[in-house]
């Protein structure tokens, strides 16, 4: 076993005249040297050699295909497409190295790209130098890429059938969690968009804040427009909620003391009598005022409209005064 001598520092105490103080001292120690990992050295050497051969192969195939396509600068770009695509499949095969079913699909695509490249190089060789040049030129690309296939097979992990099933189950469980998260995120985004669309449509049906509608007393529309809107991000019945907000935000009509009827018997407050008429089907403001006037009761038209609006909102009916 080989050793390597190293100088290490350590803390000690030094005493002078009975007083001790910490000091730093050095010592030489022999540390065993780990033997070189021949496997790692071999893998690095093989990978470096294969990379160099692949670079030569890509250059050769790109130039050959570019000459076949008249040698313009765009032809060189087109010639590099096949080998770059093959390099992409090489990376994909490493990504799916633990999934044999997907690895087989990636390998098929890689072999198909190699066949296209070899065919193009062979055609260029036939045009410029004959059959011999076509065969030798095509074999350059084949040799470099077959080396990658051999290296992948030599370094591929060996899994027993039970281990392979365990790996597949773990990947499936993780993939299911990712799928659920993606679907929930998509559903939440669609719900937010749907709610925003409904709120936008409801807002477009109301006049701007601070404006009035012809035929309604001043301030009634502003109360509806200023009402809070439901938050975005949850599914709500916007139309129903707006009606409820309208009913809650509108000022309540103060009930007046009981007034006697024509015969002197109490009938109830103004608001209650208006609600009774609305419940019986009378929703015309002038008609309600006339019937109350026959009993000696006068009521403001705006109060009647508010009571009608509250009754319709409670019954979820369309309000003609919105």
Domain boundaries, the chain: 3-32, 39-155
Cβ atoms of 116 and 106 closer than 8 Å: no
Q: Which two tokens stand for residue 214?
A: 């012809």
Q: Which two tokens stand for residue 168?
A: 């597949």
CB burial of residue 30 (10 Å; 0-12, 13-18, 19+): exposed
As beta bridge partners, residue 260 has 266
Q: Distance between CA atoms of 23 and 110, rounded to whole angstroms?
A: 66
* pLDDT of amino acid 264: 35
* pLDDT of amino acid 258: 42
* pLDDT of amino acid 261: 43
* DSSP SS3 for 3: strand
What does each of the 322 residues of the chain score in pLDDT, given as a tens digit?
788 888 989 899 989 888 899 999 999 998 888 888 888 888 899 989 999 999 999 999 999 988 888 888 888 998 889 889 988 998 898 888 888 888 889 989 989 998 999 999 899 888 888 888 889 888 888 888 889 888 888 887 778 888 888 988 998 899 899 999 999 999 999 999 999 998 888 888 776 666 555 555 544 444 444 444 444 444 444 444 444 444 444 444 444 444 444 433 334 577 888 888 888 888 788 888 888 888 778 888 888 888 888 877 776 655 554 4
Q: How many CA atoms lie within 13 A of 232 on its CB side?
A: 13
* pLDDT of amino acid 233: 43
Question: Which among 181, 18, 171, 23 is positioned nearest to 96, based on CA atoms?
Answer: 171
* pLDDT of amino acid 192: 92
Q: Is the pTM of this model over 0.85?
A: no
Contacts of 273 (CB under 8 A, 6+ apart): 267, 292, 295, 297
């Amino acid at each position: 076993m080989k050793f390597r001598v190293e100088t290490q520092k350590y803390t000690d105490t030094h005493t002078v005249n009975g007083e001790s103080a910490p000091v730093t001292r050095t010592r030489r120690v022999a540390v065993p040297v780990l033997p070189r990992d021949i496997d790692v050295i071999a893998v690095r050497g093989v990978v470096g050699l294969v990379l160099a051969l692949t670079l030569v192969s890509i250059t050769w195939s790109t130039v050959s295909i570019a000459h076949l396509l008249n040698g313009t600068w765009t032809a060189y770009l087109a010639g590099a497409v096949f080998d770059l695509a093959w390099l992409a499949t090489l990376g994909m095969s490493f990504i799916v190295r633990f999934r044999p079913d997907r690895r087989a699909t990636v390998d098929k695509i890689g072999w198909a790209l190699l066949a296209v490249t070899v065919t193009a190089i062979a055609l260029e060789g036939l045009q410029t130098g004959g059959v011999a040049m076509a065969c030798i030129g095509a074999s350059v690309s084949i040799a470099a890429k077959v080396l990658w296939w051999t290296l992948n097979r030599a370094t591929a992990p060996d899994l027993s059938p039970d281990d392979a099933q365990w790996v597949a189950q773990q990947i499936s469980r993780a993939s299911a969690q990712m799928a659920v998260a993606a679907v929930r995120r998509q559903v939440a985004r669609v719900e937010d968009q749907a709610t925003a669309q409904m709120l936008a449509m409801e807002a477009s049906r109301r006049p701007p804040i601070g404006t009035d509608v012809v035929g309604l007393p001043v301030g009634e529309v502003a109360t509806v427009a200023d009402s809070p809107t439901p938050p975005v991000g949850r599914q709500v019945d916007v139309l129903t909620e707006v009606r409820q907000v309208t009913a809650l935000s509108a000022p309540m009509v103060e009930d007046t003391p009981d007034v006697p009827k024509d015969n002197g018997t109490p009938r109830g407050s103004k608001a209650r009598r208006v609600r009774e008429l609305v419940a019986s089907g009378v929703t015309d403001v002038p008609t309600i005022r006339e019937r109350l006037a026959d009993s000696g009761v006068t009521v403001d038209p705006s109060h009647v409209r508010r009571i009608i609006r509250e009754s319709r909102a409670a019954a979820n009916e369309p309000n003609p005064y919105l």
